[in-house]
Structure 1
């Protein structure tokens, strides 16, 4: 980018290059995206030095005294912090340094807004808590949920008010970079000729009209809400990075004698990886797996560990197997499956009823045989009833 442009247009050009990155249109892992991010950060820091050398902002001014063309540059530290937060993909140390720079830029933005009195009392209290190194989001789950809902409602309200106050602003576009670009002159404007009654006159037309200072203050307040949320995320990520293992030295930078010695040891040692790294060092800072590991369903349930052990230390021969149908056939053959019963068995006719039905077919040999069987059965039962009186076997005198 050329630095011969006026400062507002140079700032607008830098924001335009960052807009696809902030809108998540480009992947952050792409080297070209990181290159664009690095060059844009260089331009942002250059703009910061130019603003400091010009003395645009003063500690003795208020938000009402600053000009409409200068107020947009109060967002510079927020843009620097948001851009720094999207970098640092070279490992734990690189990410930590990047987050620290983003935290410094965010705090500078909050200090600038506080000195100019651009915040409400509630927002000022959040800035004071963030400046003291404390998260604006409380640790209590109920209060944390209420704080997040309150921030979300405020952010949504500010976006809607800004979008409605900006001229020619699409309703679907609510990106902070888009709002900032609406306050800056476009770098693509060209002189155009307008015909009048007296001749041709050259005028300079901009893409959007100049917005009021109240809209600019709303944009700064929106960036303040985003800053509070970003600072809370940075504090949690820095805490995680402080407990993460150090980055592994690349193989190309290691001593060849040490690499050769490890290769010789690996010819007979099966637990080389397990002895080299501590149990907690499973994944490096850049996401590379350091040693093989198995994810168990539950570390506290010993039955799962026993099951995994039984699956490893088992017989060396193939055990006999069978299908479910073969297993059921074998169980039925052995008499372990009970069939019948239920309503169908209750509704089925008894043996006496079947004999009576068969005997009703008069004139057939089968009917005569069934009638004889029925007579013999009734005679045997009558003889049994005569020989064994009711209650004869009740030795306990019951019933």
Structure 2
């Protein structure tokens, strides 16, 4: 890259090229995206070497002793780690090397924040737990869930505080790259082209043309950006770093159990007839047997300690697709009879058949009788409804009296006279 930009603008230019990748606008599987990522990583490592040669950060300083212009460059370790984590898609070995570089960058960022005492005591404890090379996430499922919820709340709270403190920040985006770009001078391609046409320098300038000092100059003083906002962004990147490191450790563990080279295995398992056909040789198909790999070894499926190296299914020696599908259906199914209806449908059917008794119990005992309801309604004097209920009550009592007069007590017990 041919440029004569100051270091802050060069950093801003590199972040702008990475912003579509971090916003998931570009697909990581595209070759063009990986090319942009590699070019940005070259620039980031160049900035890292320049910062190291300038001696901007020292172990004997605290965060209060670092200027706001230099404080922004503490985020460089996180940017390198995140960019490395998005690459390495050319096989297992390449991915492992990329994850190792990402882990190194993340740990460097954590050490820098710890050295300058930027973090809170709780965040320092999380960094100390991650420093051992293992995930700080608890093994217990309940504690693991609580830790994730606590980390999510912390990240959300920091994003809201940062969005409120940065007045020039767009409300529609809460990406860390967007936060960092709001702290750096904006990069103009037109001005960059005009500058590069007048110079042959191939490295960004780190000397301020206004002051003549060797300290990092951001080109334009942003008076609205406060130290508090920068520290909040660094703490947010710390939370994202812990989450990324946990993912890296889990992925490294999975990759360590994966085959050494998927490509080599695919070439090894190819049918020799296909190889001959590609080479133009004539194949006699009169007699042919199913291919049996001569280099088949049981340890390729199961290790010496009994650990499964890759998934496999035991099937009979047959090439009939119908049998394979039938056996597959017999294997991947429940070993018990499944119900044909839900519990609610079952209860509705039983109620329709009359097998469910409703009513009764204490609630039915405490409910008022018909006579009590009529008596209560008749007590509302002066209303037509009360008069009607009183008349119903009188007729009921009269009918009951007539019934008791006509039917003496015990008159119906003619079969059992004692």
Q: TM tier, shorter chain?
A: 0.5 to 0.7
The offset of 1:231, in angstroms, is: 0.4
Partner of 1:81: 81
Q: CA RMSD in A?
A: 3.7
Partner of 2:260: 246
The offset of 1:186, in angstroms, is: 1.1
Partner of 1:93: 93
Partner of 1:216: 230
Per-residue deviation, residues 220-271 of structure 1 (Å, max 9, x unmatched): 00000000000000000000000011214459999xxx96897589983414
Partner of 2:146: 146
Provide the C-alpha distance between the structure 2 equivalents of 1:270 and 1:50, rounded to a whole number of angstroms: 62
Partner of 1:170: 170
Partner of 2:377: none
The offset of 1:169, in angstroms, is: 1.8
**1:120-135 residue pairs with structure 2 within 5 A?**
120-135=120-135
Provide the C-alpha distance between the structure 1 equivalents of 2:28 and 2:34, rounded to a whole number of angstroms: 7
Where 2:63 maps in the other structure, the secondary structure is: coil
Greater relative contact order structure (CA < 8 Å, 6+ sep): 2
Contact 2:9–2:219 under 8 Å retained in 1? no
Going from structure 1 to structure 2, the CA distance change for 1:174 and 1:246 (only over 3 Å counts) comes to same
Are positions 1:69 and 2:89 aligned together? no
* Structure 2 gap segments, 5+ residues each: 192-217, 277-282, 302-307, 312-320, 337-352, 354-418
Contact 1:85–1:98 under 8 Å retained in 2? yes
Where 1:70 maps in the other structure, the secondary structure is: helix
Question: Which range moved further: 31-40 or 168-177?
Answer: 168-177
The offset of 1:2, in angstroms, is: 3.2
Provide the C-alpha distance between the structure 2 equivalents of 1:250 and 1:215, rounded to a whole number of angstroms: 51
Are positions 1:27 and 2:27 aligned together? yes
Contact 1:89–1:95 under 8 Å retained in 2? yes
What TM-score, normalized to structure 2?
0.61
Per-residue deviation, residues 8-30 of structure 1 (Å, max 9, x unmatched): 00000000000000000000000
The offset of 1:170, in angstroms, is: 2.1
Partner of 2:288: 268
* Structure 1 gap segments, 5+ residues each: 192-203, 284-291, 305-341, 343-399
The offset of 1:167, in angstroms, is: 1.3
Contact 1:72–1:183 under 8 Å retained in 2? yes
Partner of 1:112: 112
Per-residue deviation, residues 288-328 of structure 1 (Å, max 9, x unmatched): xxxx9979467587979xxxxxxxxxxxxxxxxxxxxxxxx
Contact 2:91–2:262 under 8 Å retained in 1? no
Contact 1:61–1:116 under 8 Å retained in 2? yes
Are positions 1:230 and 2:244 aligned together? yes
**1:238-387 residue pairs with structure 2 within 5 A?**
238-249=252-263, 268-272=288-292, 276=296, 278-279=300-301, 296=328, 299=331
Contact 1:189–1:205 under 8 Å retained in 2? no
Going from structure 1 to structure 2, the CA distance change for 1:243 and 1:47 (only over 3 Å counts) comes to same
Question: Which range moved further: 145-154 or 262-271?
Answer: 262-271
Going from structure 1 to structure 2, the CA distance change for 1:253 and 1:274 (only over 3 Å counts) comes to closer
Where 1:64 maps in the other structure, the secondary structure is: helix
Which entry has the higher C-alpha Rg, 1 or 2? 1
Provide the C-alpha distance between the structure 2 equivalents of 1:44 and 1:97, rounded to a whole number of angstroms: 18
Provide the C-alpha distance between the structure 2 equivalents of 1:21 and 1:273, rounded to a whole number of angstroms: 43
Question: How many residue pairs were aligned?
Answer: 285
Going from structure 1 to structure 2, the CA distance change for 1:168 and 1:87 (only over 3 Å counts) comes to same
Contact 1:12–1:181 under 8 Å retained in 2? yes
Contact 1:41–1:83 under 8 Å retained in 2? yes
What TM-score, normalized to structure 1?
0.63
Contact 1:78–1:105 under 8 Å retained in 2? yes
Going from structure 1 to structure 2, the CA distance change for 1:300 and 1:151 (only over 3 Å counts) comes to same
